Structure 1
Amino acid sequence: MTTLCNPYKKVALVTGSASGIGATIAIALARAGYDVIVNYSRSEDSARATVEACQAHGADTLLLQCDVSDEDSVRQMVGAIREKYGRLDVVCSNAGMSIDTPPRKFDLIEVEDWDRVFAVNVRGLFLIAKHTKALLFEAEKPCMVNTASIVGMRPGAQPLPYSASKAAVISMTQTLANALGPKVRVNAIAPGWMEGDWMKWMLRDNYDKLMTRRANATPLGRCVTMEDVAEVVITLIEHMHFVTGETIVIDGGFAKTT
């Protein structure tokens, strides 16, 4: 039996929203008046902090653990969303992972590591789209926003499986826009070098030096923040009603001028 919350309030699912971009998007959606499903795979404490931040903005929240690469887990998560809310207006497929093998050492990557990156970043997006389709089709003006990366569009310092998986996200976004249109708008975001833990993990001891160099080479004079990304996501959802199949680069102009 479906238990409805506020039947007039829009509902958004953000996968991988325990921290980082996903958490910032979830909180921005709560601030914009959405009820929010916070999804996590392992980091429960961080996910609960995201829930509390969303609730501080008046959002009703649902915290769900789900490995997006596992179909049974995704099916159960979507079932729980239908049970509580009876609707779903927005899907932000943000869950993702990488490894720390630099591109020039791609020959050292184990097949199991390659497969795991693709399982989360690519299969996960497919499974979320597959199992949320029915709910999205019941919404009035539904949309989907997928998290890609600038390295899915041009070479970068990210590991080969991560770059390839983000190129796949961009391709899938275009195909899904056609497959789900005209009912569901589907777009992607492609952040550039971003301040915070993700790039600290990737760049290690070179973080400050390389981020400063990138900021100095960027027309807008700094690197991307998670708030920049969330702002674009909200704009895609709330305002860009005739835009679909696009990948919006968020890098302060770096990719177009270097």
Structure 2
Amino acid sequence: MNHEKPVALVTGGGTGIGRSAVLTLAGAGYDVAINYSSSKAAADETARAAADLGAETILIQCDVSDDAAVRQMLAQVEQRFGRLDALINNAGTTSAISPKDFEGVTAENWDRVFAVNVRGMFQVTRAAVPMLKAAGGCVVNTASIVGLRPGPQPLAYATSKAAVVSLTKVLAYNLGPDIRVNAVAPGWMEGDWMKRMLQDNYDRLMERRARLTPLKRCVTADDVAQTMLSLVQGNRFVTGEVVVIDGGFSSST
């Protein structure tokens, strides 16, 4: 198969950062494989929006913590497109347990967060290596500012994102020179994720964070997607790096 357009796979591609990444890549001329775990309706809508931008898409339901399912997902991408130029490892999960509730963190909760956020990221990357290597492709992982500094996020989630930072560097070291691997670390981001975390305090705390940020607003999913695209299409001599996207907040506090 000789598929002329570049192809990207976005995990967790139905909502949030994943949705913005799909649409940004579609607008830049990529065909896109959209992975989702449970948000089928949202993934369907994202696929329609990507198609409106000219992208050929494939929807693949897969829990990235399931290695057999991950390998089947990459087989579907290869069968459909025959190539993979960019992998956006965005699938992630968290918990509702307060970061100060140490006793509330169960082994099952901890293991589930790490299975998706860390092991799942590795499994998808491992399965994608042959196609990425053939294309001279790249990987962009979704980390978080709480993987670099403490923040009001559940313990397992914050620790898993620190592991993503380390995994990014380890993968970059071992996959070079054929495949570049970088990560993005968004700060406080507008939207449903932070609404679930902050609940009734969302508006007040987000407004306060914006005031304390040099660029005077909080990050959006589109901001993150644009940075991802720049790491995919440019920055050809950059690998193993984590790009913080927080409007300068972390550098000013």
Name the TM tier (shorter chain): over 0.9
SS of residue in 2 equivalent to 1:254: coil
Give the Cα separation in 2 of the matches to 1:195 and 1:79.
35
Map of 2:204 onto structure 1: 209
| 1:191 Cα offset (Å) | 0.1
Asked if the contact 1:106–1:159 (Cα under 8 Å) also holds between the matched residues in 2, the reply is no
Map of 1:100 onto structure 2: 96
Q: How does 1:28-177 map to 2 (within 5 A)?
A: 28-139=24-135, 141-177=136-172
| 1:8 Cα offset (Å) | 1.4
- How many residues end up aligned between the 2 structures? 253
Give the Cα separation in 1 of the matches to 2:215 and 2:241.
22
Per-residue deviation, residues 135-172 of structure 1 (Å, max 9, x unmatched): 11110x31000000000000000001000000000000
The amino acid that maps onto 2:63 is: D
The amino acid that maps onto 2:137 is: P
Give the Cα separation in 1 of the matches to 2:218 and 2:48.
28
Map of 2:249 onto structure 1: 254
SS of residue in 1 equivalent to 2:100: helix
The TM-score, its normalising length taken from structure 2, stands at 0.99
SS of residue in 1 equivalent to 2:250: helix
The amino acid that maps onto 1:221 is: K
Asked whether 1:181 is paired with 2:176, we answer: yes
| 1:106 Cα offset (Å) | 2.3
SS of residue in 2 equivalent to 1:256: coil
Q: How does 1:220-239 map to 2 (within 5 A)?
A: 220-239=215-234
SS of residue in 2 equivalent to 1:104: coil
Give the Cα separation in 2 of the matches to 1:97 and 1:7.
33
| 1:110 Cα offset (Å) | 1.2
| 1:108 Cα offset (Å) | 1.1
The TM-score, its normalising length taken from structure 1, stands at 0.97
List gaps (5 residues or longer) in structure 2: none
Map of 1:25 onto structure 2: 21
The amino acid that maps onto 2:98 is: P
The amino acid that maps onto 2:129 is: K
Map of 1:245 onto structure 2: 240
> 106-115 vs 47-56, which deviates more?
106-115
The amino acid that maps onto 2:191 is: G
Asked whether 1:14 is paired with 2:10, we answer: yes
Moved over 6 A (4+): none
**Which of these residues, 186, 189, 194, is aligned with residue 191 of structure 1?**
186
> 102-111 vs 85-94, which deviates more?
102-111
| 1:109 Cα offset (Å) | 1.1
